[in-house]
A and B are shown apart, each in its own frame.
Chain A
Amino acid sequence: MRRRIGIDVGGTNTDAVLLEDDGVAAAVKTPTTSDVTTGITKALAALVARAPGARTAQAVMIGTTHFTNAVVQRRDLGRVAAVRIGLPSGASLPPFVDWPEDLAELVRAEVVMLEGGHEFDGRPLVPFDARGMRAAARRIREAGITSVAVAAVFSPLNAAGEEEAAAILAEECPGVAVTQSHRLGRIGLLERENAALLNACLIELARKTTRAFTEALRASGIAAPLYLTQNDGTVMLAEVAEAYPVYSFASGPTNSMRGAAFLSKRDEALVVDVGGTTTDIGSLRHGFPREANSVVEIGGVRTLFRMPDLLSLGLGGGTRVAREPLAIGPTSVGYRLTEQALVFGGDVLTVTDVAVAAGLIDLGDRARVAALPKALVDAALTRIRGMIEEGVDRMKTDAGLVPLIAVGGGSFLVPARLAGVSEVLNVPHQAVANAVGAAIAQVSGEVDQIFQDLTREEAIARARRAAEDKAVAAGADRATINVVEVEDLPLAYLPGNSLRTRVRVVGDIAE
């Protein structure tokens, strides 16, 4: 039997599910703890207690918004040296130039700009300043900086500058972590550099977190390999993923939407995911989240990551409700819900208290909200309905009625009937859809290769076959493989009509 454990570590709850073949065998929801690990250990213990078979799972997939939250909330970020290779070009726009000032202040330890980089046709822009790099590396070591992001002009076409810089850094600064921009992004120097800088400031946290995940798993007596889920709904082995925390930035919403599709067996629908702090509304197309067109900002930093197109509302189970005048949010008590909400003995009126008072859900001590005026409860629910209806309307692509899948721990807040919606789908295990999405994550195969003397169609076809072979080698079922990305870039400077072709495919894990 195919057994997989999916875990979602959210800002409020840590959810775990055991998937046996195509069914959810057990699911648990526990509060996220400030150290993250304790929450996972508790969730796994509860899961094993409910389904002892969980111990023999073949794979454990963890999805987490931990790294995104670290950037958004400006916490646990490392200080970073930025090395830009490309002078004399770009001098007026140094690294961090378009970062929010508060975040830049936290992260920016050193900025080094050196001569080097390449032209679009592969010629050097100017010779690489290796001596300057060595001097900078020594300053970086003396300053005690342990993480460096390196970005060179046109490095996706010619990575020699970044590689040489990384080699010098490795010689001069033993143990330093170097993020090379060409590993993370494509053409677009500032956005690629931003991705490398974000990655570099998260790398220490990623290492610690990934190791804590592994320990939590071992402590639970589970021997299966640990995977982290990525933005595109695929997984990477934890020891590889820890070097690329930015690849997991959007994995939370991706998992919840993929989980919603799996649980509802619908491939075309809107999904509303009500969590503890926010409500995310997205759109499923062919079972995958529709991607945002434009540049994506993470904590105010511009990047070119492919992310689900989401509308985030400040509405969740932990959202504070103000009475006079009535206001819903935008702040939330987050994972302190079970201490601070009225029904749990606290003194903060939250959306959960309103839902308990209205009889939408039974949680905590109902008597503690019995005295809430009915007019207040009704007005708050009307306001919440309005927020969801407006959000749904903004995410719709046409005027017709669309089905809406409700998931997340706060899905009880979604009314059964909504304007513009054909039906609200409530499915079993909807509260843990994100953990289900992690458990069904797929494996990918990617080929990025230069082909010569082939037509564009032939080059793409050949790259596609090679990518499929790689995915199968990584454990994918060939029959389920889909192409998710095709990109080709002509290389004018190489002889014989050279075309750099990149194809990425994903498939389900084979049994």
Chain B
Amino acid sequence: MRPVTADEIESLAIGAWILGTGGGGSPYLALLNMRQAYRKGVVCQLMDASELADDDLVAVVSNMGAPLVGQERLTDPKTMALAVTMMEEYLGRKFRALMSLEIGGGNSIQPFMGAAVLDLPVIDGDCMGRAFPEAQMTSFAIHDLRMYPLTLADVRDNAVVVARAASWKWMERISRKACVEVGSIASTCKAPRTGKEIKECAILGSTTKAIGIGRAVQAARRAHRDPIDAVLEVTGGIKLFAGKIHDIARRTTEGFLRGTAAIEGLDDFRGHTFRLAFQNEFAVGWLDDVPRVMTPDLICVVDTVAGDAIGTETLRYGQRVTVLALPAPPILLTPKGIEHVGPRAFGYDLEFRSVFA
């Protein structure tokens, strides 16, 4: 276990936003909450999963909902902590630590927000290695772990416990309905995990990885080097396309932000077009109408100059962007993983082919 510095939280916000693959919501507001907490003297602890006893309990937390809504209904550490204490009351047991559901986007910082209120450590890891829109798209679901119970807290003192669910998809449907009903944003504590389950089924070390990506971007900026090159170096990623956004269509349905973005090529990509489809996160990319990249490979859209990630809710006509692919965690690339998070899980009838294959 080691203390996390305020600078590391800043790096985490940058790295996690890149790993968010367009979704997960901007970490900015969660970062602001942490700056407030650190100003008051809070110091969070990062815990390696190996330090967990097999029967310890870990709270897997996330802020659930549409990223667009998160831009208006600002996230609050108290609501996050409430979802965790509700679960403790329901179970009649205390948690040993908190862990992020997804390291991509704002949910990378949510466990730190809860931990700051509850004085608990945060596990170095998550169960997506990126961001995904739905509950069954996790390493825990791929490992067939139990999906219930779940607690959901709304800022207006509405709270829901989903005591049982027949499957991961049922858990997703029931909790999503509750989330939409309270305005498409809620703090959730997912099914509690034992220390053994975390050690065997989580994607470990992803918090440290995200901090490392953020740190590389910051160092490149300070040295006036290309931050995108720095991301590719530290992750082993590939640059897929660079250009200007010339059309963007979005719709908010069932608590998700769905849509497409078209990019006109610039420089080396002049004369070509890249099209992206998203459901909160980027799911598939086509180069001149031929599928070029697809989930679970990480599809990241970043500002061509600054290297900052751009979320699906902040894509805008005229932005100059670069599309990157980063390698997915191995568990997502197994046949079972592809079933849960491959292109067909998002409604695209495509055979998964990794750009890294």
Tell me the bound Cα distance from A121 to B304 in angstroms. Answer: 34
Instruction: Tell me which of B65-73, B209-217, B336-344 binds A.
Output: B65-73
Closest to B266 in A: A397
CB-CB under 8 A for A92 and B310, given A119-B183, A120-B66, A397-B267? no
Interface centre among B72, B77, B155, B308 (most CB of A within 10 A): B72
Closest to A119 in B: B183
Per-residue contact bits, chain B 34-66, to A (CB 8 Å; 1 contact, 0 not) = 001000000000000000000000000000001
Minimum distance in angstroms from B42 CB to a CB of chain A: 13
B residues lining the A interface (CB < 8 Å): 29, 32-33, 36, 66, 68-69, 71-78, 155-157, 183-184, 224, 249-253, 266-267, 303-306, 308, 310, 313, 316-321
A86 engages B73 (CB within 8 Å): yes
CB-CB under 8 A for A187 and B72, given A88-B156, A397-B266, A398-B267? yes
Instruction: List the A side residues contacting B76 at CB < 8 Å.
Output: 89-93
* Interface set, chain A 408-462, CB cutoff 8 A to B: 456
* Interface set, chain A 74-123, CB cutoff 8 A to B: 86, 88-93, 97-98, 117, 119-121, 123
Minimum distance in angstroms from B114 CB to a CB of chain A: 12
Instruction: List the A side residues contacting B318 at CB < 8 Å.
Output: 291
B74 engages A190 (CB within 8 Å): yes
Of B68, B73, B157, which is within 8 A of A90 by CB? B73
Tell me the bound Cα distance from A193 to B251 in angstroms. Answer: 25
Instruction: Tell me which of A39-47, A223-231, A484-492 binds B.
Output: A484-492
Instruction: List the A side residues contacting B304 at CB < 8 Å.
Output: 293, 397
- Which 7 residue pairs spanning A and B have beta carbons closest together? A90-B74, A119-B183, A89-B73, A92-B76, A490-B251, A293-B303, A398-B267
Counted as pairs of residues, one from A and one from B, with CB atoms less than 8 Å apart, the total is 97
CB-CB under 8 A for A456 and B249, given A88-B156, A89-B155, A291-B318? yes
Main secondary structure of the interface of A (DSSP, over half): loop
A residues lining the B interface (CB < 8 Å): 86, 88-93, 97-98, 117, 119-121, 123, 125-126, 153-154, 187-190, 290-291, 293-294, 309, 394, 397-398, 456, 485-486, 488-490, 492
The 25 sampled A-B contact pairs (Cβ below 8 Å) are A89-B73, A91-B78, A92-B74, A92-B77, A93-B32, A93-B36, A93-B74, A93-B76, A97-B36, A98-B32, A120-B183, A121-B183, A153-B72, A153-B73, A187-B68, A189-B71, A189-B72, A293-B303, A293-B310, A397-B266, A488-B249, A488-B250, A489-B250, A490-B251, A492-B252
Main secondary structure of the interface of B (DSSP, over half): loop
Minimum distance in angstroms from A46 CB to a CB of chain B: 39
Minimum distance in angstroms from B28 CB to a CB of chain A: 8
A120 engages B184 (CB within 8 Å): yes
B73 engages A293 (CB within 8 Å): no
CB-CB under 8 A for A120 and B249, given A89-B74, A97-B36, A293-B310? no
Known pairs A88-B157, A293-B305, A456-B249; list 20 more (Cβ under 8 Å): A89-B76, A92-B36, A92-B74, A92-B78, A93-B76, A98-B32, A120-B72, A120-B184, A123-B183, A125-B183, A290-B320, A291-B318, A293-B310, A293-B319, A294-B306, A398-B267, A488-B250, A490-B252, A492-B252, A492-B253
Closest to B37 in A: A92
Instruction: List the A side residues contacting B66 at CB < 8 Å.
Output: 120
Tell me the bound Cα distance from A126 to B306 in angstroms. Answer: 39
Instruction: List the A side residues contacting B251 at CB < 8 Å.
Output: 490
Tell me the bound Cα distance from A98 to B34 in angstroms. Answer: 12
Interface centre among B71, B73, B77, B249 (most CB of A within 10 A): B73
Closest to A120 in B: B69
Tell me the bound Cα distance from A125 to B69 in angstroms. Answer: 12
Closest to A390 in B: B224
Minimum distance in angstroms from A481 CB to a CB of chain B: 17
Closest to B157 in A: A88
